[in-house]
Chains A and B, each alone.
Chain A
Amino acid sequence: MNFKNFQNLEPFEFNIEKKKQFFQKHINQLVKHHYNQSQQYKKLLNFLKFKIKNVEISKLPFLPVKLFKYYDLKSVQDKNLFKTMMSSGTSQNLPSKIYLDKENAFNQVKVLSKIIKTILGHQRLPMLIIDANINKVDRNMFSAKTAAIKGFSIFGSNHTYLLNDKDEIDYKILESFLSKYGKQSFFIFGFTSNIYEHLIKNISTKNKYNFEKGILLHGGGWKKMENIKISNKMFKKKLNMNINLYHIFNYYGLVEQTGSIFLECPKCNCFVVSIFSDVLIRDKDLNIVENGKKGMIQLFSLLPTSYPGHIILTEDIGEIVDNDCTCSHRGKRFKVHGRSKTSEIRGCSDI
């Protein structure tokens, strides 16, 4: 798999037909790569009776995302491992483990930065992080959160953590950040739930803080957001009203496909698919649904080379949106409606 072949491409440059051809070719190569490099992947594909040949992306086998919780899936030799990323896992919930070699880790950063630059531009902007200082927390707690903050930090400078140890806004820090950097573009990053908690719900409105020049990138923190039930529209409106913040970008991405994230289009409020990724929606019989119908989100990424996470079925519910958005980005658009509801099981066993 040679990523160099397309690392000079821009994320949203192809039209639909060109993207389709480009993506199909490279994702099929990637399937072959993992088939040859991962014993487990090979075993799975053999069982599924999948023959390696160039097929449409909808015909390619997809792994359920939870598999990365139960198995150490790798397509590289252990001696070439560079780092392991973990998703947040609670007590009943094992974390996903993603094994990276240097090349895969490098490609993640490369593509992430291509995508992020479309909203931040080429300069590193002063960065306000809506979280407590991750460098102060226990090293062993290296979580998805820490990984995300670290990952996005490379796009900023003068990193400033807004929250204190008690997870409250430190107003001294806020005022000093805004007076130093608030008059030119600056970058704000945080989990959606933290943005809601601190910049919408709790921020003091006595002094009207001015975030007019800020560019907010937020995502994740879903579990907490589920109970809050605030629409994306209202979320934005509150930020407009409370702190004069207008440049707001939601992102969607899974630790299993770090790098090829999806950014929200400010015009149509849908996530836009870059040339490095693709999305399909499947119903509960695992059939592809028509655009506009809801179902489970299947994600494709050209980045995973050291682990077979290139085609996964998620538990998230979403839909493909057909629209003629007038924005400059080309690419498929979709919406995410949250995690599928866990079924209450009947029966007497508690396992």
Chain B
Amino acid sequence: MTEIRDIEYLVGSKKIRNKTITPYNNIICNFLSDLSKELNLSEESKVYPDIKTLAFWCRKKNIEKFKNQFKSNESRLGLGLLFHITPSNIPTNFAYSLVFGLVTGNSNVIKVPSQNFEQVKIICNTINKILKKYKTLQDMITIVRYKNHNFFTNKFSLLCSARLIWGGDNTIKEIQKYSTDQRSIDITFSDRYSFCTINSEKFLSLKKNGIKTLAEKFYNDTYLVDQNGCSSPHLVVWIGKKYKKARVKFWSSLKEVVEKKYELSESASFDKYTQLFKDILSLKNISNYEMYGSQIYTVLLKKLDKDNHKLRGKWGFFYEYNTNDINKIKSFINPRYQTLTYFGLEKNTLSKFVLSNKLRGIDRVVPIGQALDMNFFWDGYDINKILTRVVEIR
């Protein structure tokens, strides 16, 4: 029965401490700045764009921005030891989770995907190299890889002050079977649904280059993660009367981008074809469908319904709906909705849409192209606040 105890320590060792330091302490900020520089300069970052993105994200200036968001009149300390369970199919997500934990002054045990991603190795090696200079942090970062949940998940769950559980609903359910200390909290990043809205008139007034740039941004929000990121849109809501002309222009220019950048496999193509047939047979609210090669499938909906969040595409399979006013779709928004990406609508209109209608979903409203930008406000949580505790002193 040695198998269940197989664990790899990519960073740190089995000596796990539950200690905190002051949030955004200089040591942490310098460490992250060094990490950013080191990753950015490395040969590997040229091969892996996601490493480059990470390096750019944890650069000094950005961390300072997060620090400014953190500043408040309260006295705050980290919670203690955080146990991060990171998603199995995004190689660099664990590093973002680590940064969340570190800047807020916590110690961290991080479970990385069991699949041997090269990116994980590169990032861990870089962390190990830099950690030599940062004695204080050495026992605050433990990065582990193991396959079976039971033994270690149980152990770390009992030790930690909070768990950050990334992944689908099933993973979360699985992890929550392991009990934690009474004071410990779970911060769950579950399956979410995201959509996009475009003002057709504004879109049509774009010049050729503008359309191309927008298509590229939309590509980054979707195809870059096979449309399977929780912030990747599945539905495009067209606002305005000229949507018929706008949508053809939009998908055609997206197709050009996808053709250049994206490698669609036979099995993904087969899956999309199957999904189209399933939709035709199962859905009552389809009016039409279109294919732009196999790169883009779109299904046009006559009306939305409360189960709309279940209509999800992968590898470039979208749903479309047209309305003259975004407020008309308010009754379909439920807590599953995470990100709304937009083009051609006023910030003010969208803020009213969410706030005045007091919607129960939508945690983020960002321009097209920023869907996947990781931020300290995520899934409706303020990471700075939720990973620290307030010390009241009168």
A interface list, Cβ under 8 A from B: 40, 43-44, 47, 63-64, 66-67, 70-71, 284-286, 295-296, 313, 315, 317, 340-351
Contact = CB atoms under 8 A, between A and B. Distances in A.
Contacts of B268: 284, 343
Which of B166, B228, B273, B289 is most buried by chain A, counting CB atoms within 10 A of its CB? B273
B270 A340 contact: yes
A286 B273 contact: yes
A286 B315 CA distance: 16
A340 B229 contact: no
B344 interface: no
Interface stretch (B17-25, B55-63, B84-92, B348-356): B84-92
Contact of A346 (B225, B271, B277): B225
B393 interface: no
Interface string B249-285: 0000000000000001111111101100110110000
A348 B90 contact: yes
Contacts of A296: 266, 269-270
Nearest 8 interchain pairs by C-beta: A347-B228, A350-B168, A284-B269, A64-B274, A340-B266, A347-B225, A340-B267, A347-B229
A78 B25 CA distance: 72
Contacts of B265: 284, 340-341, 343
29 contacts: A43-B280, A44-B277, A63-B277, A64-B270, A66-B270, A284-B268, A285-B269, A296-B269, A296-B270, A315-B267, A340-B266, A343-B271, A344-B89, A345-B315, A346-B224, A346-B226, A346-B229, A347-B227, A347-B230, A348-B87, A348-B166, A348-B225, A348-B228, A348-B229, A349-B191, A350-B167, A350-B170, A351-B191, A351-B312
Nearest to A63: B277
B161 interface: no
Given A47-B280, A285-B293, A345 B270 contact: no
A288 to B, nearest CB: 14
A285 B263 CA distance: 12
A342 B265 CA distance: 8
Contacts of B230: 347-349
Contact of A285 (B224, B232, B294): B294
A286 B269 contact: yes
Contact of B267 (A47, A285, A341): A341
Interface in B275-323: 277-278, 280-281, 286, 289, 293-294, 312, 314-315
B314 A345 contact: yes
Which of A285, A342, A343 is most buried by chain B, counting CB atoms within 10 A of its CB? A343
A67 B273 CA distance: 10
A67 B278 CA distance: 7
Contacts, number: 113
Contact of A350 (B171, B269, B270, B293): B171
Interface string B13-43: 0000000000000000000000000000000
A317 B228 CA distance: 26
Contacts of B312: 349, 351
A349 B229 contact: yes
B100 interface: no
Contacts of B238: none
B146 interface: no
Contacts of A340: 265-267, 270
B189 interface: yes
Interface of A is mostly: loop
Contacts of B293: 285
Nearest to A350: B168
A346 B266 contact: no
B184 interface: no
A350 B87 contact: yes
Nearest to B266: A340
A71 B281 contact: yes
Given A63-B277, A341-B267, A350-B171, 20 more contacts: A43-B280, A44-B277, A47-B289, A67-B278, A284-B264, A285-B294, A286-B269, A295-B266, A317-B266, A340-B270, A345-B226, A345-B228, A346-B90, A347-B229, A347-B230, A347-B232, A348-B229, A349-B312, A350-B168, A350-B170
Contact of B294 (A286, A341, A347): A286
A39 to B, nearest CB: 10
Contact of A284 (B89, B189, B266): B266
A47 B279 CA distance: 11
Contacts of B170: 350-351
A284 B315 CA distance: 13
Nearest to B286: A47
A244 to B, nearest CB: 40
Contacts of B294: 284-286
Given A67-B277, A67-B278, A71-B281, A348 B267 contact: no
Given A286-B269, A349-B229, A343 B315 contact: yes
A71 B286 CA distance: 18
Contact of A44 (B88, B93, B228, B281): B281
A237 B266 CA distance: 32
Contacts of A63: 277
Contacts of A344: 89
Given A43-B280, A67-B274, A347 B89 contact: yes
Nearest to A67: B277
Nearest to A66: B274
Given A43-B281, A47-B289, A347-B228, A342 B266 contact: no
A346 B89 contact: yes
B386 to A, nearest CB: 19
A44 B280 contact: yes
B177 to A, nearest CB: 16
Given A43-B281, A345-B314, A313 B93 contact: no
A79 to B, nearest CB: 23
A64 to B, nearest CB: 4
A346 B280 contact: no
Nearest to A69: B274
Nearest to B275: A64
Contacts of B264: 284
Nearest to B229: A347
A315 B270 contact: yes
Which of A47, A286, A340, A344 is most buried by chain B, counting CB atoms within 10 A of its CB? A47
Given A315-B267, A343-B265, A350 B281 contact: no
Interface string B92-109: 010000000000000000
